C-alpha cells in the first residue's frame, strides 16, 4: 500500500514538473511588435447590429524565436476535429471567446492550431483553457480560420 502511495505521488509530480519547464506567454508575444501595435490601433470592436462585419485585420507575420519553444498560453477552444466517439482531437486556440464565430476574426498570428496526441473528452467552449506544448511556426487554413502557429499539445486544462 505504501508503494502505491509513493507511486501516486510521483505521478502527480511529473506533470507539475513538465508544466514548470514551459514558458508562459501572452497573445501579443505571437506578433512582431509593430504588428501588435497596428492591430491595437485598428480595433473597432465587434458589431452585433447586423449592419455587416467590421474591418478585418490580417497578419500572418510570426515571431521566429518562438518556433520549437515549450510554451503555455491561455485561451478558448474552437473544436475542429473529433473522433468517432466525440472526443476532441484537433482545435484552434483563440485569445477571446467567440473569436472564430463573431466577425471580425483575429489575424492568423493570433490563432494556434492544437493537435492532441491522445484525444480528450469534449471541452466546454465557454471555459478558458491553458494549452501547453511545443509551439511551431506553421500555416494551417480551413473553412473556420487561418492559423500561423501550431502546437503539439501536451496539456489542455481549465484556466
Domain at 32, CATH number: 2.40.50.870
In degrees, to the nearest 5, what angle opens at C-alpha 90 toward C-alphas 120 and 60?
145
pLDDT at 12: 41
- Structural domain for 109, as ranges: 24-45+52-158
Q: Are 81 and 102 in contact (CB under 8 A)?
A: no
Better-predicted residue by pLDDT, 90 or 145: 90
pLDDT confidence tier of residue 10, bands split at 50, 70 and 90: very low
Mean pLDDT of 22-43: 83
In order, the DSSP letters of 125-156 are TTSEEEEEEEEEEEEEE-SS-EEEEEEEEEEE
The CA–CA distances, whole Å, from 10 to 6, 13, 20, 44, 132 equal: 6, 5, 15, 50, 20
Residue 12 lies in a domain: no
Rounded to a whole number, what is the distance in angstroms from the first to the last CA of the chain?
34
Lowest mean per-residue pLDDT among 28-42, 84-98, 112-126: 28-42
125 closest CA partner among 79, 71, 64? 79
Average pLDDT, the chain: 82
Residue 103 lies in a domain: yes
Residue 152 lies in a domain: yes
What's the number of domains the chain is made of?
A: 1
Q: What is the dihedral of CA 149, 154, 157, 159, to 10 degrees?
A: -50
On the question of pLDDT at 16 being above 60, the answer is no
Mean pLDDT of 54-80: 89
Amino acid at each position: 500500500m505504501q508503494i502505491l502511495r509513493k507511486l501516486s505521488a510521483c505521478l502527480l509530480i511529473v506533470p507539475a514538473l513538465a508544466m514548470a519547464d514551459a514558458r508562459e506567454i501572452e497573445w501579443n508575444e505571437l506578433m512582431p511588435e509593430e504588428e501588435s501595435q497596428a492591430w491595437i490601433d485598428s480595433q473597432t470592436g465587434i458589431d452585433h447590429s447586423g449592419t455587416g462585419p467590421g474591418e478585418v485585420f490580417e497578419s500572418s507575420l510570426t515571431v521566429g524565436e518562438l518556433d520549437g519553444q515549450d510554451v503555455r498560453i491561455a485561451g478558448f477552444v474552437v473544436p475542429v476535429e473529433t473522433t468517432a466517439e466525440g472526443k476532441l482531437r484537433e482545435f484552434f486556440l483563440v485569445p477571446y471567446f467567440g473569436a472564430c464565430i463573431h466577425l471580425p476574426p483575429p489575424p492568423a498570428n493570433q490563432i494556434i492550431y492544437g493537435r492532441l496526441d491522445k484525444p480528450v473528452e469534449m471541452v466546454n467552449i465557454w471555459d478558458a483553457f491553458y494549452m501547453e506544448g511545443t509551439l511551431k511556426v506553421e500555416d494551417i487554413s480551413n473553412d473556420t480560420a487561418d492559423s500561423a502557429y501550431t502546437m503539439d499539445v501536451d496539456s489542455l486544462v481549465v484556466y
